[in-house]
């Protein structure tokens, strides 16, 4: 069962989801439509809807609630991407070219709000307070995660727990709940849905750590941004955290983070120091450990065909380099 | 039954709501807490929760769902106020002193998101897809209303329908649904809840038109901003719309709106022209007509003590001058 085959098997469901996403974002408003269309077209791997579809196979995957749940969660993911585009005046002062026109900031915010509302609306077609609690938990955790990220910017004193809690809220919870909601929507028992929650949670932690590694070592063209962008923006991720633990690197990193006048050359130097310090390998190691935990959960699940697919997804996420 | 007496009768319920609002915003996060506390302390008239409490009296007002609904809707109202604070780079360029610190913009956005999520979470303690649809409709309409307001800024060609639709989404829908949800939460029939919806809708339209009038004629100290702030920000409200219909004023208003270099004196001149043109009186007239429609609905309702209270609320809203 390759990853391509998994996608192929879910092709019909995935295109039903795509159609519903389009419908959700189409009708009401030209500006809204325009603002969300690029995002829809960009598509992405739709990894979260795929997880919902797969975990539903432990129950009755044909229940209409399954597609609803997947659409709702993907809308929340998309809304969070739109809100990521809202910037601070501080960003503007730093001269970033993020703002395309003078209305972009507020329009992005309200477009995100609209998408959140649509997510709730779509879910309200089925009668489950548990599902609504899950959705509200996702939005709440996403927003706390982002606020924590803002709070922790440029703070090189933060500890590992800080980082892990942040990526949990920013990324892992949404994957965890995509898995859990798939199972619940398909009528699985709550205990089974909780196991799938943990599978998704560990998967999500590994996924985000890999993302943070790729920000350092990934191909700049594929990333669409210069290497080390996170650090340049003050976002201290796992490789930087590990590098800060090394006495001989610590001072250089702190200096460039604390200075108001760090040049591109200064940043490049520090980013290269981190890349060659072994910190990336340590981070990759932790990512692998989370992935292993995700796979361990699978052993506790009914051994069905879908369990193999979830295994494959984990391997895929472990091996990705973009 | 005076307005003070109505508040007094609901004192216990209103303070239960206040306690729950505090609880919803207290626990999770110091930055979030700080950002929302001012808003909570500012308090305001809590007119929406009052409407929910009153309309619940057509059914069983002691059901726990009633307080839940009121808290949930007020959180949405507060979230929308927080999101109103998120600004565009254009605002910064115009040199407004809105930004207190460099994180404010994004923190305000995520604080609002958090409050939306809490609103949904609180509502998910009771099992009603209808209630969730109502909540999602409020958030959706608020966001479309705001996007339309952004789209229509400085556009003196907009028609009356544009303005009315905008204030419907920005203000009236939330009041309408505060009334409807109160009735539904108290176990009233759907047809009765729809009548209360229309009462709230007409009330809300009148309320917002009065707000827009007060922006011109209100006391600058009480408003906390210079007269005509809406117009200065490009927001064309009903008095301006009516003034634009007058040939001898039209050109002066358009000139000051279209010029990039309008001085404070230019604005003051145009604002005074509008104030003395009769446009304010025409707007007040439309506000009164909406208020009358709200009162007409009351005649179709069971004539209970609460019907008198709703009458009183309408009179209060009609007479307010701050």
Note the ipTM here: 0.85
Closest-CA distance of chain B to residue A192, Å: 22
Task: Return the residue of A nearest to B153 by Cα.
Answer: A103
| Intra-chain end-to-end CA distance of chain B, in Å | 22
Of B60 and A148, the structure prediction assigns the larger pLDDT to B60
Question: What is the phi/psi pair of residue B154, to 5°?
Answer: 60, 5
The residue count for chain B: 322
- Cβ-nearest to B129 among A92, A112, A127: A127
Which pLDDT belongs to residue B47? 93
pLDDT of A90 higher than 70: no
Task: Give yes or no for a contact between A185 and A199, defined as CB atoms under 8 angstroms apart.
Answer: no
Instruction: Looking at A61-159, list the stretches that DSSP marks H as alpha helix, in order from N- to C-terminal side.
Output: 64-84, 89-93, 104-123, 129-152
- Which parts of chain B sit beneath pLDDT 70? 1, 27-29, 35, 38, 42-43, 87-103, 321-322
Which pLDDT belongs to residue A222? 76
Q: Name the most confidently modeled range: A255-264, A296-305, B135-144.
A: A296-305
Closest-CA distance of chain A to residue B166, Å: 13
- Cβ-nearest to B102 among A83, A89, A121: A89
pLDDT of A195 higher than 50: yes
**Contact yes or no for B151 and A105 at CB 8 A:** no
Which pairs with CB-CB distance under 8 Å and at least 24 residues apart come from B281-285? B282/B238, B282/B239, B282/B242, B283/B209, B283/B212, B283/B213, B283/B238, B283/B239, B283/B242, B284/B209, B284/B210, B284/B213
Strand ranges, E, within chain A:
none
Of A168 and B124, the structure prediction assigns the larger pLDDT to A168
Which pLDDT belongs to residue A27? 59
**Contact yes or no for A133 and B140 at CB 8 A:** no
pLDDT of A103 higher than 60: no
**Contact yes or no for B105 and A88 at CB 8 A:** yes
Closest-CA distance of chain A to residue B288, Å: 31
pTM greater than the 0.80 cutoff:
yes
Residues of A in contact with B109 (CB under 8 A): 83, 86, 109
Listed residue (A151, A229, A130) closest to B110, CA to CA: A151
Structure tokens that stand for B230 in this block: 């809406």
**Contact yes or no for B114 and A89 at CB 8 A:** no
Closest-CA distance of chain B to residue A149, Å: 10
Span A2-26, mean pLDDT?
92
A135 pLDDT band, cuts 50/70/90, is confident
Closest-CA distance of chain A to residue B320, Å: 30
Domains in chain B and their CATH numbers?
3-319 (1.10.600.10)
Residues of A in contact with B28 (CB under 8 A): 140, 144
Q: What's the CA gap between B213 and B228, in Å, rounded?
A: 9
Interface probe for A, chosen from B95, B136, B235 (most Cβ of A below 10 Å), is B136
**Contact yes or no for A121 and B137 at CB 8 A:** yes
A101 pLDDT band, cuts 50/70/90, is very low
């Amino acid at each position: 069962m390759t990853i391509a085959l998994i996608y192929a098997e879910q092709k019909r469901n995935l295109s039903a989801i795509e159609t519903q996403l389009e419908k959700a974002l189409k009708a009401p408003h030209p500006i809204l439509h325009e603002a969300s269309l690029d995002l829809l077209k960009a598509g992405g791997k739709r990894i979260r809807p795929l997880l919902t579809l797969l975990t539903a196979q432990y129950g009755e995957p044909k229940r209409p609630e399954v597609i609803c749940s997947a659409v709702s969660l993907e809308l929340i993911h998309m809304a969070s991407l739109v809100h990521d585009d809202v910037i601070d005046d501080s960003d503007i002062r730093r001269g970033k070219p993020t703002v395309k026109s003078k209305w972009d900031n507020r329009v992005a915010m309200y477009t995100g709000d609209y998408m959140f509302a649509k997510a709730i609306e779509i879910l309200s077609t089925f009668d489950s307070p548990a599902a609504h609690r899950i959705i509200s938990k996702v939005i709440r955790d996403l927003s706390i995660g982002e606020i924590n990220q803002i709070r922790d910017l440029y703070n090189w004193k933060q500890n590992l727990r800080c980082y892990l809690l942040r990526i949990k809220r920013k990324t892992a919870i949404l994957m965890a709940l995509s898995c859990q909601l798939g199972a619940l929507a398909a009528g699985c028992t709550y205990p089974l849905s909780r196991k799938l929650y943990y599978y998704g949670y560990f998967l999500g932690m590994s996924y985000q750590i890999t993302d943070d590694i790729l920000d350092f070592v990934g191909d700049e063209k594929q990333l669409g941004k210069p290497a080390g962008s996170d650090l340049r923006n003050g976002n201290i991720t796992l490789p930087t955290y590990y590098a800060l633990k090394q006495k001989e690197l610590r001072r250089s990193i702190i200096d460039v983070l604390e200075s108001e006048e760090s040049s591109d050359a200064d940043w490049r130097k520090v980013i290269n120091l981190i890349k060659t310090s072994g910190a990336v390998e340590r981070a990759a190691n932790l990512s692998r450990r989370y992935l292993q935990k995700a796979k361990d959960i699978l052993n506790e699940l009914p051994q069905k065909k879908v369990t193999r697919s979830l295994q494959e997804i984990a391997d895929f996420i472990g091996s990705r380099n973009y």
